[in-house]
Structure 1
Amino acid sequence: MEIIVDGYWQNNLGDDLFLKIICEKYPQLMFETFITKKNSHSFSEKNLDFFYIKKNLLSRIMNKLFRELGIPNLKIRKASAADAFIQLGGSIFMLSKNGKETAGEFVRRKILIHNPNFFIIGSNFGPYYSDKQFDFYHKFFSRIFGACFRDTHSYNFFSDLPNVAVAPDVVLGMNIQKYKNEKKKEKRVIFSIVDCDFKFNFPSNKSSFDLKNVYNHKIANLADKFVKDGYEVVLFSFCEAEGDLRAAKEIMKIIIDSHPEITERVKVYNHKSTENSLRLISTASKIIATRFHAMILGWIFQIPTFVISYSRKTTDVIKDVWPEQNYVDIEHVDDVTYQTVEDLNFLPSPILTDVKSRSKFQFQYFDKFLENMVKNE
């Protein structure tokens, strides 16, 4: 049986965890995915094979030409012929503000023509900018085998469809026992960092520059307070491709210039290995999470966590899972004080047990497909 799983494999810890989890959940199955050779080194799962792709100027030009001519590329050809095609990830439905069909929509439309065994697992939806976009996706979701969103807000758009569901984020169901047993918590605070220029997509815009300046200096000042309170600080880059490492280094420079006495207690960490990253996170005594999955990992490791939210996807999940989670929208990050982040709670065990149990329903439609395959043998 050929099962292709597609996602955002750019050495982003959150997305890398999705692929790790599905491989561990179904060890009897062999999965295939599209990935660059460089990024494939993040994965060591034995039941995962790769279709190597290139992401350079020539490949982008060729894919655009194929799309304009309506010619299926490698992904479309392979996925159309597979027994099942899974799109696994969080923000995989980022729609065009001008309403034009994106490359991702072209791929989905072409695959669905030939393969109705199409699954969406773990995503949020939107925002959308036109009725045409909404109608396209309403029709799309109605025709695939099944979709499971990770937040009620996304689910409500398509709740009239019988093959659409909602369940807690995939990563909430991850088995972390081996990481919890390895090391005791240390007096260490992890800051997950984002690049405001990348996230807000306005590198030459003054408001983006101002936000970046405020955010970077706030993190540097909080790091100073934590170190002087006896903590080691880790500036954690979840995704170098999205500018996290660059932002962490910029913050480190601010620390070197403004707080040189603490530099030996501040480290920059760049995610390359899922195992190493999880081991490091498991040792933290606090997390200041700007990345969505830094918040999720804080929850499942029951580490006291403060959230700096840059996206509605974060606040929607907070509302669904734990409205008591302390957070601030990134536009108001300058209001955060050391007192705000010093005394934090962690996700209560009864809530964690509940969401871990319910997160398995992210895979309910794929499980149903597998059951049907067994019956038909």
Structure 2
Amino acid sequence: MDVAVICEISREETKMNKYYVVAYKEVNFGDDLLMDTLFCRYPEAEFVMTAPGCYRKIFNQYGNLKIICRDSFIYKIFNKLVSSYSVIMHRDYPKCLEDIIINSFKRIIYIGGSIFIEKEDAHQVSYERKWWKKAIDGDKKVYILDANFGPFRSASYTNAMQSVFKKCQDVCFRDQYSFHMFSHIKTVRYGNDIAFLTKTCKRTKNVSDKYVFVSVVYPANNFAADLNVHNEYIRKMAEMHKSAQKYGLGIKYVAFCKFENDDKTLDEIKNVIGDSDTAEYIVYDGNIEEIKQMVTDSVGVISARFHGMVLSSVQNRPTFYIAYSTKGINVIQDNHLDINYIRLKDIKDIDSDRIIASMVHDQGKLLLKEEIYKSANEQFIILDKENRNTNHISKII
């Protein structure tokens, strides 16, 4: 779909169940998993989003999704015109074509994680405030799902977003910390992360090569100011390979998001390990089911990615979490999950042998309570009512 059909989509938007979806669309496994759950849950609704052309393949099974291809030639031309006009007129908003497209819709779903991070750049702060002001303008309905709040530095940012939340149709945070900050607002609710509703996979019978699944991040990218932390992280992840070999296990190192340089982490780990038949390096390319099956068939999961930790919990895999922010720790504590974790800044304290040994001996111990699935369904309670969806009671099987 190209820009030529945008007007047609906008004219059709009078239907009760048509939504524009705002999300992180950079082929990131976690965010793709959230969108996949949304599209699957409401087959009778219609969703529209602007995204790279590869998303037509990622979500090709959904006839209820229309994708405006942002890397098409026509889109790029119009986008350049909008951004150039913004610069010439010294305006922060709109700064891209998607801003204009979003404004043509009356129902907007904003889904996915760390949405509310206070930026340091003054122009970016100004743009975001104008974006939200326009999004909640008039009779628009805005639904914010699966979000957490922060990091933030100022009361002015918190107050500004508080004003936004009051005008939204629905705001559902995925952690208690964020929820309690704004629980006095009637539109604000709490529900567990949407990824807890992921359909479980059956373990492949007679897996010949047993392995540990490791989802990585690239700390030097933005998770750690200290380069020493980055280097120590690479060293420790490579060390996991030696520990796994002691138990006759291989390791699958998996990059969830190439756009965020996770693949560079794989290269650096490989340089430390060298050639090995028991180390495999995989970059997520949009095949959601492939990653889910890898997690299910693993002996255990070491995850620096938030949704790697959630997915391994759903698939009942022994899990060790490396937290680059508090969002994962909050979810672990909110749900009393039996998951050991360490903060990324303390990565030097990891005992690789102990972690692998624990996974080998703790098979099948992590069982999620039914309340966790019920709470995750709370994320959709408003959309369920709007779409008369009564088919999702607890866990999706």
TM superposition score normalised by structure 1: 0.88
Change (3 A) 1:62 1:286: farther
2:213/2:294 contact within 8 Å kept: no
Alignment correspondent of 1:97:
120
Change (3 A) 1:213 1:317: same
Alignment correspondent of 1:363:
380
Structure 1 residue 47 and structure 2 residue 47: aligned?
no
Equivalent residues in 2 for 1:186-197, closer than 5 Å: 187-197=210-220
With 362-371 and 94-103 compared, the bigger mean Cα shift is at: 94-103
Question: 1:289-343 deviations in whole A, cap 9, x for unaligned?
Answer: 1100110011000000011111111111111112542011111111111113421
Residue 285 (structure 1) shift: 1.2
Structure 1 residue 299 and structure 2 residue 321: aligned?
no
Equivalent residues in 2 for 1:115-154, closer than 5 Å: 115-154=139-178
Alignment correspondent of 1:339:
354
Aligned with residue 268 of structure 2, among 230, 250, 263:
250
Q: Equivalent residue of 2:189, what SS? A: strand
Structure 1 residue 107 and structure 2 residue 125: aligned?
no
Change (3 A) 1:195 1:159: same
Alignment correspondent of 1:24:
40
Change (3 A) 1:64 1:155: farther
Change (3 A) 1:341 1:357: same
With 160-169 and 318-327 compared, the bigger mean Cα shift is at: 318-327
1:149/1:165 contact within 8 Å kept: yes
Question: 2:107 corresponds to which letter in structure 1?
Answer: A
Alignment correspondent of 2:284:
271
Alignment correspondent of 1:375:
none
Residue 182 (structure 1) shift: 4.8
Aligned-partner Cα distance in 2 for 1:217–1:298 = 23
Change (3 A) 1:328 1:117: same
2:20/2:107 contact within 8 Å kept: yes
Structure 1 residues without counterparts, runs of 5 or longer:
373-377
Aligned-partner Cα distance in 1 for 2:222–2:305 = 11
Residue 352 (structure 1) shift: 3.5
Alignment correspondent of 2:21:
5
Question: 1:36 corresponds to which letter in structure 2?
Answer: P
TM superposition score normalised by structure 2: 0.83
Alignment correspondent of 1:236:
254
Change (3 A) 1:63 1:103: farther
Aligned-partner Cα distance in 1 for 2:85–2:31 = 23
1:322/1:347 contact within 8 Å kept: no
Question: 2:36 corresponds to which letter in structure 1?
Answer: K
Alignment correspondent of 2:244:
226
Change (3 A) 1:366 1:191: same
Alignment correspondent of 2:371:
354
Aligned-partner Cα distance in 1 for 2:90–2:291 = 37
1:72/1:110 contact within 8 Å kept: no
Q: Equivalent residue of 2:149, what SS? A: coil
Aligned-partner Cα distance in 1 for 2:263–2:273 = 15
Aligned-partner Cα distance in 1 for 2:19–2:118 = 26
Change (3 A) 1:354 1:223: same
Change (3 A) 1:87 1:214: same
Residue 73 (structure 1) shift: 4.7
